[in-house]
């Protein structure tokens, strides 16, 4: 029997099972819409959404906890160590991760729409193209880690903090290269509704990270260098775990092994990855600008410590809206790839309402416990007092972020990355950052003024514009575009 006949027989045997168990909502959605009550439709859509979001929350909280726990370990070494680790993790690694995450999110558009259109063989090729593009990007970004100290000094950070942050980031270079493989693997599995695998592997990686961090700090007494080096272990556990699942039978329809087809059509892939990278990294970098601005204030060390604690807590909670970002992107891209505009619209509505409800809960939680949240990271009285002052801004940041990532997920699922990139530039860097600088320095309001200006001048306006675009969207037109787009890329393969 020829290889083609074997492949065809395999497809004939497997695809109906996948269709019956996972994708039957594409074909039956219109029937549900005409015959079901609104409450039932919301319940059905919520179940589909949480099938992705629930495990994604676990996976994202576990991975983010690896970064946050590193800062917590450093914070108990001293204020300087906390400030240096905060700059290293939040600025250097944060800038890098934001760009790589954005570029990998191109897979959410391509793999999501291809999966909805049942073009399963395309997903593995897309992931390999993403590996190639992101690995080259890693090489180009190496100077960010190697020359971190002079870069941070150039940006106005204190000399002692910059020197130690430069040492810290050199030990995180293996972590940097793990992003090129781990992020595409996550999106590849996520678009196939295999988020449970990501969650389990992320929890194992977190356990490994915490054990190694404790070993380097408490047993080997390696100090801040040991804490930073421990980051590498957990992230590479995720890479090997996710790849092992993919390559050894976890994805029989979408992974056929390595292929030379991954090197074809790279330029088109680079363009979409770049647009995705610009869109998301501009969002991710926005609050890194806040940290850099704070480093130029008087008494910068205490201000940096307090702000980094607030940003860590915000980032921790942000994993929930980011899981909705992922879930919404998958749901919207799947429905558009299946030619179902109404399904994409309804998925958007349910995701926004659910995320906002969760955001209100955490907004209240921060306001209630604003005097105690700093103790997770520090016992320094000046730092704790400064965090108490910033807690109201932290609460409102969490509230705004319950909406914005979901709308960004709609943009990724629909392939609007280029448009949103321009919106982000205008709202964040032409409006929000200058307003924050004006209030912080000209009106002498310090870190609170900088942060307030960036929230209400940038994040709020950007969220409003995305909401208007989403509400005015012609979803049937988007579904037609997605169908054409999938066929075009399939021909490219």
pLDDT in tens, 365-417: 999 988 888 887 777 888 888 888 889 899 999 998 899 889 999 998 888 88
1 assigned to some structural domain: no
Report yes or no on 13 lying in a domain.
no
Q: How far apart are CA 442 and CA 148, in angstroms?
A: 29
| 31 within domain boundaries | no
Which pLDDT does position 431 carry in this prediction?
Answer: 93
Whole-number pLDDT of residue 489: 62
The distance between the two most distant Cα atoms of the chain, rounded to a whole number of Å, is: 78
Q: Which residue has the tokens 């906002």?
A: 356
Residue 331's pLDDT is what? 92
Q: Does residue 340 sit in helix, strand or coil? A: coil
Q: Is residue 9 part of a domain?
A: no
In a domain, 15, yes or no: no
Spatial neighbors of 11 by CB under 8 A, at least 6 apart, are 253
Range of the domain at 239: 42-260+269-492
**Nearest Cα to Cα of residue 189 among 201, 203, 206, 171:** 201
Q: Is 220 helix (H, G, I), strand (E, B) or coil?
A: coil
Please name which of 374, 398, 395, 397 lies closest in space to residue 386, comparing C-alpha atoms: 374
> What does the pLDDT profile of the chain (493 residues) look like in tens digits?
443 443 443 343 333 333 333 444 444 444 444 445 888 899 999 998 999 999 999 998 888 888 778 878 887 788 788 888 878 877 788 888 888 988 998 888 889 989 988 888 889 999 999 999 999 999 999 999 999 999 989 887 888 989 999 999 999 999 999 999 999 999 999 988 898 999 999 999 999 999 999 999 888 888 888 888 998 999 999 999 999 999 999 999 999 888 888 888 788 888 888 888 888 777 777 877 777 777 777 666 777 778 878 887 888 888 899 899 989 999 999 999 889 999 999 999 999 999 999 999 999 999 998 888 888 777 788 888 888 888 989 999 999 889 988 999 999 888 888 888 889 889 999 999 899 989 988 887 888 888 899 888 888 999 999 999 999 999 999 999 888 877 776 665 5
Residue 21 lies in a domain: no
* pLDDT tens profile 254-291: 998 888 888 887 888 888 888 888 887 777 778 777 77
* Other beta carbons less than 10 A from residue 418's beta carbon: 15
In angstroms, the CA 182 to CA 441 distance is 40
**Domain count along the chain:** 1
Task: Record the tokens describing residue 475, joined without a space.
Answer: 């979803």
Predicted pLDDT at 28: 42
Q: Which residues contact 104 (CB under 8 A, 6 or more apart)?
A: 130, 134, 183, 184, 186, 187, 273, 276
- d(C-alpha 245, C-alpha 249), whole Å: 7
pTM for this entry: 0.79
Calpha distance 406→437 (Å, rounded): 28
User: Reduced to 3 states, what is the DSSP secondary structure of residue 358?
Assistant: helix
Identify whether 22 is part of a domain. Answer: no
**What is the token pair recorded at 269?**
């892939």
């Amino acid at each position: 029997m020829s290889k083609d006949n074997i492949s065809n027989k395999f497809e004939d045997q497997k695809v109906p099972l996948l269709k019956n168990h996972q994708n039957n909502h594409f074909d039956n959605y219109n029937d549900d819409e005409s015959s079901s009550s609104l409450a039932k439709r919301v319940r059905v859509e919520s179940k589909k959404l949480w099938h992705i979001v629930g495990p994604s929350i676990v996976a994202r909280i576990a991975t983010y906890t690896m970064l946050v726990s590193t800062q917590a370990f450093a914070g108990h070494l001293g204020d300087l160590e906390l400030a240096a680790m905060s700059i290293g993790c939040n600025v250097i690694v944060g800038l890098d991760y934001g760009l790589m995450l954005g570029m990998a999110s191109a897979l959410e558009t391509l793999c999501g729409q291809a999966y909805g259109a049942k073009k399963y063989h395309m997903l593995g090729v897309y992931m390999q193209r993403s590996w190639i593009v992101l690995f080259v990007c890693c090489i180009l970004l190496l100077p960010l880690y190697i020359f971190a100290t002079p870069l941070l000094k150039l940006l106005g950070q204190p000399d002692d903090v910059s020197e130690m942050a430069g040492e810290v980031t050199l030990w995180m270079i293996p972590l940097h290269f793990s992003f090129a493989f781990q992020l595409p693997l996550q999106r590849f599995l996520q678009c196939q509704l295999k988020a449970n695998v990501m969650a389990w592997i992320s929890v194992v990686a977190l356990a490994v990270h915490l054990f190694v961090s404790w070993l380097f700090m408490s047993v080997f007494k390696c100090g801040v260098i040991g804490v930073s080096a421990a980051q590498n272990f957990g992230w590479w556990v995720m890479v090997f775990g996710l790849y092992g699942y993919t390559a050894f039978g976890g994805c029989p329809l979408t992974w056929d092994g390595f292929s030379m087809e991954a090197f074809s059509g790279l330029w088109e892939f680079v363009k979409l990855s770049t647009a995705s990278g610009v869109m998301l990294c501009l969002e991710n970098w926005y609050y890194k600008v806040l940290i850099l601005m704070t480093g130029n204030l008087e008494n910068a060390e205490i201000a940096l410590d307090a702000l980094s604690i607030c940003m860590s807590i915000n980032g921790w909670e942000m994993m929930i809206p980011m899981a909705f970002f992922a879930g919404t992107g998958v749901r919207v891209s799947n429905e558009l790839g299946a030619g179902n505009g109404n399904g994409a619209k309804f998925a958007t509505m349910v995701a926004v309402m659910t995320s906002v409800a969760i955001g209100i809960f955490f907004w209240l939680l921060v306001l209630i416990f604003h005097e105690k949240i700093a103790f997770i990271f520090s016992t320094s009285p000046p730092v704790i007092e400064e965090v108490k002052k910033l807690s109201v801004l932290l609460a409102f940041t969490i509230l705004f972020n319950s909406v914005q990532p979901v709308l960004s997920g709609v943009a990724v699922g629909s392939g609007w990355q280029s448009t949103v990139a321009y919106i982000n530039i205008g709202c964040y860097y032409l409006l929000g950052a200058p307003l924050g600088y004006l209030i912080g320095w000209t009106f002498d309001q310090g870190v609170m003024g900088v942060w307030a200006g960036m929230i209400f001048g940038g994040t709020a306006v950007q969220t409003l514009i995305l909401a208007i675009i989403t509400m005015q969207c012609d979803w049937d037109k988007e579904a037609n575009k997605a169908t054409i787009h999938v066929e075009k890329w399939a021909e490219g393969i």
